[in-house]
Chain A
Amino acid sequence: EAQVTQNPRYLITVTGKKLTVTCSQNMNHEYMSWYRQDPGLGLRQIYYSMNVEVTDKGDVPEGYKVSRKEKRNFPLILESPSPNQTSLYFCASSLGPALSYNEQFFGPGTRLTVL
């Protein structure tokens, strides 16, 4: 089954404790992206990756890091989480960039709470 998986689905942590949210897709997609969803703001893009070892900032990259060492995986790293990073996070992938007709497939989301 074609899918995007994220782990963990729920996470409660404390300020400053490094964490990684994993994302994996099994569709051989080149383009992957991370978003955060906040009330009243919709989804905002954090980082995206056009292919292995190619990543770039989205609209809200501050406080986040990503890596793309393999085509299928695109982990999101919070080196020193802060309460304003409490949010619902989505990973997505597609065959090509968002501007093409290749729609993005989203993972189920990770609910992160930073105390």
Chain B
Amino acid sequence: DQQVKQNSPSLSVQEGRISILNCDYTNSMFDYFLWYKKYPAEGPTFLISISSIKDKNEDGRFTVFLNKSAKHLSLHIVPSQPGDSAVYFCAASGNDYKLSFGAGTTVTVRA
């Protein structure tokens, strides 16, 4: 049973607009959350993370929001660029040294 869920398999957005990716989790013991980006034929690369003691973390065009009460986090990309076209994975961990991933959302940025 997947503890991290990304319910939107794909997202298409116009260049320059905002991309919003959503992620829900079920395990209340998760206290650290990450987003990874993956291009075809490459391994995932770390994008941004957030600890459960925060509700927002920003890094350039990327912002992650955490709503602990709703067990929900989101990744905002503003503005979206063609190079952002990739698969984005949400991941979460607790105190058991394991990392649980969602199924991924494929983002396509249209010119």
Contact = CB atoms under 8 A, between A and B. Distances in A.
Interface in B22-50: 31-32, 34, 36, 41-46, 49
26 contacts: A4-B43, A33-B99, A35-B101, A41-B2, A41-B103, A42-B4, A42-B101, A42-B103, A43-B89, A43-B91, A45-B98, A56-B97, A58-B98, A97-B93, A98-B93, A98-B99, A99-B94, A99-B95, A100-B32, A104-B46, A105-B46, A106-B45, A107-B43, A108-B41, A109-B41, A109-B43
A106 B47 CA distance: 12
Contacts, number: 68
Nearest to B46: A103
B97 A97 contact: yes
Interface residues of B, number: 28
A27 B34 CA distance: 21
Contact of B98 (A59, A100, A107): A59
Given A98-B93, A103-B49, A45 B44 contact: no
A48 interface: yes
B74 interface: no
B67 to A, nearest CB: 20
Interface in A73-111: 90, 92, 97-101, 103-109
Given A99-B93, A103-B34, A109-B41, A43 B46 contact: no
A68 interface: no
Contacts of B101: 35, 42-44
